[in-house]
Amino acid sequence: MKNTQTQSAAQQTYLRYINEILPSEIKKPVRLNHCFARIILDWLFRDVWYKHIKTRPAYAALNEKQLVKAVERMEKWRSDNALLVADNQDSLRYRGKLK
């Protein structure tokens, strides 16, 4: 992970949601940080994210607009679990895990 001094405010907020906020507040349909990251990145690209980003960590390749859009969506998940469930289902579908 990058040093926080080199991260933008949008990257810091994104990481706070992925690593702290969401895992502490949401337990279903997922609860682990890497699951939240998978779902939001797949949601951003409407596809399996690693078909579009080759950089690791993936968040480092996102531009400010994408980071802000991702944070806005994750904020909605906090009050609308059905939205998270739907986004997770889409992510799994992109990956061939659902029909």
If you search the block for the tokens 């906090």, which residue do you land on? 78
In a domain, 99, yes or no: no
Q: According to DSSP H, which parts of the chain are helical?
A: 9-16, 22-25, 33-45, 64-79, 81-94
pTM of the predicted model, to two decimals?
0.91
What average pLDDT does range 59-83 have in this prediction? 97
CA torsion 44→49→51→57, rounded to 10°? 120
| Share of residues in the chain with pLDDT > 90 (%) | 89
Predicted confidence (pLDDT) at residue 66 exceeds the cutoff of 60: yes
pLDDT at 38: 98
Give the separation between CA 26 and CA 69, rounded to whole angstroms: 20
Cis peptide before 23 (omega within 30 of 0): no
Domain that includes residue 48, residue range:
8-94
Query: Which pLDDT value is given to residue 56?
Result: 93
Report if residue 81 sits inside a domain. Answer: yes
pLDDT bin (cut points 50, 70, 90) of residue 43 is: very high
- Residue 5 scores a pLDDT above 60: no
Q: How many domains is the chain partitioned into structurally?
A: 1
